[in-house]
Structure formats: structure tokens, C-alpha cells
Structure 1
């Protein structure tokens, strides 16, 4: 069970809720804060104070006063008018993350909603009723207005959801779980949609997948090293300790651990003095990508516990401030950074694929073909990998450097963070397919060298992977192999193979 407080949600807890469907509850202390901020909103309405979004219109209409009797219609109109997202829906797991993050943000007690709104979000999450949220249409400030409006519709019994594997009208799923639709009161519509939860949810899911493929890339590249009889000296601990990047040290250590008992690796000078960069510099390149992922994780864990709507209510309503916490710039930068870090994992992987298939760069059968000439083997798999990494280079263009004014120039600088998060996710999917191709090629090369000579950990991984993609004995439709391997990598957990980080402890002691 995960207890939401608005302040303590971690990446590990999100992983359990998103993937293992762990039950979520709100802490009693946080719900008391929600109640207090709600009382402040009701007092504002009753006293007819001029407060943005409570007794006024929105955006450029912030100077239009709203009658006390129209505050409910104001919220309904807000959700209806702002629910104009387009394009393919976000993945269902991202929609699930949006519910989790929105509930957690409201539990901070600065948003002025009723407790029933938080309870409804949590009920949808625990009942696995996931809003269908179009993925395009957000500028990333004033938050993710369009996507979050589609989420808010569901609380009102409108829009569509995915429930038990089927897309249906929201009201049908709510009735099945005996959940009553809400009529949104003053401030509640605005509190639900004025935030960064779409870009952050997409970012969290992307990060969790990126972290997984970063670990997998080290194990896959270890098999490539065996297939190419790579030089193990380049991973010597002393080399990496003297540079000082902990992530680089960790990558080198994990690869040493994977290959500790391999009979296929070589020493410098045994076959050659140095390997190409795509082998020799794996710790430096992969380690730098881990630095990126560590930065992204830090920013996401701040954002998932942030109050990002507007206005925010402080001191029991004595201070109500219109600000700009909905602006997604911190996450926009993080998503653009993640795009670059993951794209590089794919870039260097594609270069290793080339070394596995190019007969001018190795002593393996040309293109790993069972009958070179008659059969093409992995020749076009390398083409596919090259296409994917080139597509990633286009997607890696930073979304955050763009801005366009909206709401009659009232909202004149926006983050494009949601676009960045979507592009990051596309890059992650492409990168996994590139790694799938590397793994298919590396398995073939390792078998050519002799499976019995492989390290125990890489050999065990080969045996599991061969249940997904069999040995290439004859040309076949390799698209199926790539997709099957990709699907397997998306779900396989290699963390039991990862050794403790003793090298990092040593480095810290030396300092």
C-alpha cells in the first residue's frame, strides 16, 4: 500500500502503483489540509472577493468577474471548453500516472478542492478506471490544460475511459464500480487542470523505461564484447576511478561482473592493442547517459510532489497568490536532456551492431549469415537500426527552445514540456528496438565463438533470450524477431544480475 501525503511520493512507489497496481490511500493529515484549504475557497466565494479562477474568468478573461451563483457553471464550462486534446491517446499507464500525480498534488493542501475530489481520483486509480487522454494539444503552460481536462471529464461522468481492457463511456465504468460522478464546485475545475501532471506522468513512465534499457544495454553490450572478443582491460577499475564519475565507475563494474568468468574476452595485445570506441568507451558513454538519467530522476521526484496549480492558497486563505508554478520549464528541460541521453545509448549500440555484421571489422561470418551470399543474414537489421537512430536525432531536437504566445498574449511564454516528454518516449521505444537488434546479432556472434566459453551470467541471459528469438539458421522475416525481442526486453527484469556497487563505496572512501 502506498500512502499519499503530497510530499513524499518516490519513483519506487510510483513504479509499484503503475506496474504492480498497488493500492493507494491518502494520509489523514493531508486530507485535513485539503479540508482547510477548501474552507478558505468557500469563504472567498461567500465574501465575493476578487480572486483569479474562483470569482473571475480564466486567462485573458481574468478581469471578468463571475457572479456567486455561476461558479459551478464556470467550472463546468472550463472543463468542456478546455477538453480539446487531439491525436492518439497517451498510453494507458500514463493516464494511470496522471491520476496518481494529480491526487498527490492536491493533497498538499494548497489547491482548495473538496476531499471528495481527491477521493474520486484515488477511487479511479484503485478501480483501474483510466481516462482516455489525447496526447497532443498541450503547450506546457498554463500547465497541461487540454490533457488534464480530459481527465477531469471522467470525474464528472463524461468522456471515455479504459476499463477492464475496453474503451467505454466513463459513466458506464463509474456505475460498474458504484462511483458517483461529481459536480465540480468553485476552483475545483481549475485545480484539476492547471498543472504539469501530463508531461510529468509521461516523463515518469519514460524514465522508468529508460532506466530499464540503460541497465539492459550494459548486459547486451557485454555479450557483444564476447562476440567480438573484446579487450577487458578497458574496464579496469583504476581507469574509471581516476576520472571520478561515479556513473562511469558503476557501468565498468557491472560489465566486469558480467564478464568476470568469460573465456571469450581478451587482454590488450593478445589479439589487438585497443578496441574501437564503441567497445572501449562503453563506461564513458553509458555512464554519461546515466548522469542524464540521474538528473531527470531528481527533477521528476521534485515535480511529482509539487503544487503546480494557480492560484495557491496559504495561511488558511489569508494569502491567495496567483503565480506560475504550472509552467513546465523544469520538466521540459529534463525531458529534452533525457532525449539526448537515451538517443546516445542507441547511437553507440548501432555502431556495435555494425562491428558485429561488417566482415571488414571482424572475423565473423559476413553479416552473421549462415550462408553468406545466398542468405543476407543480419545485413538489413543494421539498416533498420541506422534508420531508428537517425529518427532519434530528429526527435532529440529540444522542444523547450520553442515558445508561442497564447490567450491573447496573456500567456506569452510556454514550455512545450509535454511535446518534449512525448518525443522522449518515442526515442526510448526506438532505442529499445536498436538494442533488440544488437542483442540478436550479439547472440549469433557469441554462439559462433562458443556458448560454453561465455561468462555464466551472459550465457544464462542468452539461454533465456533464445526462448524468444531462436538461432538464425536461415533467412526469415526478421521484423518479427525484432518486435518479439523488443516486447521481451520491455518486460524482462535483469536487476538480479546486477552486482552491489562496491566500487563506488571504495571511491567515496578514497575521497
Structure 2
């Protein structure tokens, strides 16, 4: 086993490992304990269907649960189920989103509740390790199982739909009578996208500290707002963390503050940014549960030789957590645009309006305030909770939908816009520091952040197109997050 291998056992997969497989193409290895759990559930399911009705194996699905499947038609029933449910519409999803789905679903199978033949797990591992992935359409899930996406995956495993990627997909496999529902009874796509969103959020929120600290230095902010005593008296976890990060970045003050109290973008940064840190931490917890969950309906329990019919596939926890994250991200984005506005104001920097340079009437970085607020509007629009609506489907039997899938996709889009908001602030903060001839104290983490950004962002001060600067700054946020 190589050092990059991600070992899947159905119990210990982490969000970081999902990212390693989805984006970094780390190989996966099926742990023996996970394989044994999957085999035990499969053998149990094979026995249970001979003793009585088991949903989706000996019956139809949804409102058709009352219709029995003939003993001689069970294999055909499974194939028809995949074909009929592979009705996703819209554009194809990105490769990393589908790979995230595959590794999550594979790990869930190894938790030992699906009752799916172990050969399916091997085929999914082969697909991940070869770089192959099924063509999955974006629309079809409403937060009660990614039925269309996983049905399209199932048909690719059967050889009826093509695999995408640089190499041929795994050899076609056959499915037993109960394999179809056992495969598609999962929110693996939604969970995989949520893991991508969690990772992106964590990185951007980490980078926000460095960007805010550079802006703080450019306006000679008051460090009293970040004093440890202040936050110990009201110790919300995220607030305490944000203040501590600002203290660590700024180091001991070397310049007197310009004001007794700063605007909220600086003074209330820990209190407003802290909830976003807490929301990301909560998402990490929920994702960690979901990626290792045996949530299939029915749950096949080898331990007590029983099939449990239940509603564990409902994704309310994940949707609520994602919705909360986006609302918190909106506040972080609001503060970024507020700090940017302060950087453009001579009252806070002592510089020309909009950090202009050269001829009278020059605009400087005036337009970045517009661009940042345009991206902020996207964050705001996407902050609307995905669960405000509802869908009643399958003849009224399934009368509540979490819309967790929509929430996960909204979260990724919101984070893309937030990255641009922060990039506009970073470009502006570095320009203000250059014009003031102020640099962070030596041997501070903030000095490392400044040197990194200033070493790559253009020092040209004349009026010019700034799109490339913002695009570069957006990539630099990854480096700042790692400090």
C-alpha cells in the first residue's frame, strides 16, 4: 500500500480524504474489515428475501411498495429500476463532484448496511483508481436520496452508459435482484459536494484572517478589539478563534492606533466572522457522520439478521448545516466589502481617494468596490435557505424534501463568489500598504502573507485593467490559508 492510498473501511473516512480522492486522485484501497461487513450484509439480504417482503428487493419502490415482484423477475426488476430512475436532466456535473460521490458511496457500502454484492464495491474502487467516472446530470435529487445520479452510475457499471475519463471504465458487472435499490438508496452525491464545500469554506475562512489583518494594518486599526480579555468574557468558540488568529498575525503593535474605535469591519471582525468558523466546524461534524453512515433503506443488519425499514436517507441535518453556513458566509463577505470601502477612504488611510496615483482625476481601484459588491450580491442571493420550499412526491407518500442537494450546490457557488470578494480586498490592501510604505513587522506571519502577496501582485499604480490582479489574488488565497 502506497503512502497516498486512502483506505476505506466504512468507519473512518474523513472530509480531507474525500478531497484527496476527488481532487488529488489519491488511490483507494478497500480494507478487509469493510469488505467483510459488506459481504455479511449481502449474505443476510439474500436470506431475508426468502423469508418475507423486503422493500425494493421483493417489492416496488415509493408508492409502488405495495406491489410484489415475482420471484423469477427480481433480476429484471433491479435493471428496470435503474433504467427508470436514471432520469437526471441538465448539464453534466464536474469530475471532482462525481469522484466525491463515488468515494463516499463506496465507503458507505463498506459500513455494512446496504446488502449489496461486494463486487460492486470493487468496481467502484476500480473506477476511482483508473480515473473513470460516470456521466451524471445535475438535476434529479431533492434531498431524499440521489436516485438519478446513482442510477446513472449503476447503468455505467452494467455497461449500458459510458464512462468518462482518460481510461476505459471497469468491466461491466451483473447485478443481483436487490442490488439496484441498495446502490441508489444514498445521498452520496450531495454528501460529496458538501465535503467539497466544507473544504473550500475552511480554506477561505482561514485566508480571511490574513486579508483582514492586512487591511487592519493599512488603516492603523486598534488592536484592543482583539484583546484576549475581551473574548474570554464572551467565549464563543469561533469568535475566540478569530481574535486569536488576528493577534497571532499582527504580533505586538508597532504603530499607535489612529482611532479610539474602528468601524465594524475591523472592530467587530471576531464577533461577525466567528459564526462562519463555527458553521464550518459544524459542517465538518455532519459530513463526518454522513460519509461513514449506513443510511440505506432498508438497513440490512447482519448482526441481528433483520431488514429495518426507516427514513435515514432524509438529509435534513446536512441541509440545515449548509444553509447556516451560507448565511454566516454572507456576514464574512459583508465585512470584506466594508473594509475595502475603508481602504478607499482618505479618512482612514490618509491617501488619495480610491488609492489613485498620478494625474488628477485618476480612478485607482475605484472599480473594485463595484466588482466586490457585485460578487457580494451573489453571496447574498445564494444565502436563501434551500429548504424554504417543499415537494410532495410519489402519490403523497413522500411528503417532505430536504433539498440538501440544492443547498450543497448553492454553497459551492457562494464560495466561488466569496473568493472574489476577498480577492478584491486583498488587491486593495496590498496597494494601500505600498502607498503608505507600511509593511508588517518582521518575523510575523502577517509579514509572510504580505511578502507572498506583494511578491506576485503588480506594483503598477497607474490606472489600468485590474481583472488579472483579482484573478491572481483569488489563487493567492490558497497560499494565505496555509499560513
Same fold (TM over 0.5): yes
Q: Secondary structure at the match of 2:307?
A: strand
What value does the CA root-mean-square deviation take over the aligned residues?
A: 2.0
Change (3 A) 1:493 1:54: farther
Matched, 1:75 2:81: no
Matched, 1:299 2:286: yes
Equivalent of residue 168 in structure 2, options 173, 188, 192: 173
Map Cα deviations across residues 199-252 of structure 1 (whole Å, 9 max, x no partner). 111111000010000010000100001111111221111111111123222221
Q: Secondary structure at the match of 2:7?
A: strand
Which shows bigger deviation, 479-488 or 202-211?
A: 479-488
Change (3 A) 1:139 1:351: same
Quote the residue 2:452 is aligned against: 464
Contact 1:40 1:317 in 2 (8 A): no
Which shows bigger deviation, 358-367 or 196-205?
A: 358-367
Equivalent of residue 18 in structure 1, options 15, 18, 22: 22
Quote the residue 1:508 is aligned against: none
CA deviation after TM superposition for structure 1 residue 488, in Å: 3.7
Contact 1:278 1:349 in 2 (8 A): yes
Matched, 1:49 2:52: yes
Please give the alpha-carbon distance, in whole angstroms, between the structure 1 residues aligned to 2:342 and 2:37.
60
Which shows bigger deviation, 17-26 or 56-65?
A: 17-26
Contact 2:440 2:446 in 1 (8 A): no
CA deviation after TM superposition for structure 1 residue 132, in Å: 2.9
Q: Secondary structure at the match of 1:250?
A: helix
Please give the alpha-carbon distance, in whole angstroms, between the structure 1 residues aligned to 2:131 and 2:177.
28
CA deviation after TM superposition for structure 1 residue 467, in Å: 4.6
Equivalent of residue 266 in structure 1, options 246, 249, 256: 256
CA deviation after TM superposition for structure 1 residue 317, in Å: 7.1
Q: Secondary structure at the match of 2:133?
A: strand
Quote the residue 1:243 is aligned against: 234
Matched, 1:413 2:404: no
Tell me the TM-score normalised to structure 1 length: 0.89
Quote the residue 1:483 is aligned against: 471
Q: Secondary structure at the match of 1:313?
A: strand
Tell me the TM-score normalised to structure 2 length: 0.93
Change (3 A) 1:225 1:452: closer
CA deviation after TM superposition for structure 1 residue 432, in Å: 0.7
Which shows bigger deviation, 83-92 or 341-350?
A: 83-92
Map Cα deviations across residues 40-70 of structure 1 (whole Å, 9 max, x no partner). 222344x273211001111111111112222
Change (3 A) 1:77 1:468: farther
Quote the residue 1:338 is aligned against: 325
CA deviation after TM superposition for structure 1 residue 24, in Å: 1.8
Q: Where does 1:356-505 land on structure 2 (aligned, <5 Å)? A: 356-359=343-346, 361-371=348-358, 373-452=360-439, 454-455=441-442, 456-489=444-477, 491-492=478-479, 494-495=481-482, 497=483
Q: Secondary structure at the match of 2:168?
A: helix
Question: Could you list the runs of 4 or more consecutive aligned residues of structure 1 that deviate by over 4 angstroms after TM superposition?
Answer: 451-456
Please give the alpha-carbon distance, in whole angstroms, between the structure 1 residues aligned to 2:479 and 2:440.
24
Matched, 1:206 2:201: no
Map Cα deviations across residues 300-329 of structure 1 (whole Å, 9 max, x no partner). 111111112211112467321211111111
Quote the residue 2:9 is aligned against: 5
Map Cα deviations across residues 137-194 of structure 1 (whole Å, 9 max, x no partner). 21111x1112222232322234344413xxxxxxx622xxxx3111221221112211
Change (3 A) 1:163 1:493: farther
Aligned residue pairs, count? 478
Q: Secondary structure at the match of 2:300?
A: strand
Q: Secondary structure at the match of 2:128?
A: helix
Q: Where does 1:105-184 land on structure 2 (aligned, <5 Å)? A: 105-141=108-144, 143-164=145-166, 173-174=168-169, 179-184=170-175
Contact 1:451 1:459 in 2 (8 A): no
Quote the residue 2:340 is aligned against: 353
Matched, 1:232 2:223: yes
Which structure 1 segments of 5+ residues have no match? 165-171, 498-511
Contact 2:18 2:192 in 1 (8 A): no
CA deviation after TM superposition for structure 1 residue 391, in Å: 2.2
Please give the alpha-carbon distance, in whole angstroms, between the structure 1 residues aligned to 2:89 and 2:453.
39
Please give the alpha-carbon distance, in whole angstroms, between the structure 1 residues aligned to 2:406 and 2:70.
37
Please give the alpha-carbon distance, in whole angstroms, between the structure 2 residues aligned to 1:195 and 1:365.
57
Please give the alpha-carbon distance, in whole angstroms, between the structure 1 residues aligned to 2:38 and 2:217.
58
Contact 2:239 2:273 in 1 (8 A): yes
Please give the alpha-carbon distance, in whole angstroms, between the structure 1 residues aligned to 2:128 and 2:452.
34
Please give the alpha-carbon distance, in whole angstroms, between the structure 1 residues aligned to 2:454 and 2:164.
34
Q: Secondary structure at the match of 2:183?
A: helix
Change (3 A) 1:135 1:226: same
Map Cα deviations across residues 401-448 of structure 1 (whole Å, 9 max, x no partner). 321101111211111110011111111111111000000000001111
CA deviation after TM superposition for structure 1 residue 487, in Å: 3.2
Q: Secondary structure at the match of 1:173?
A: coil
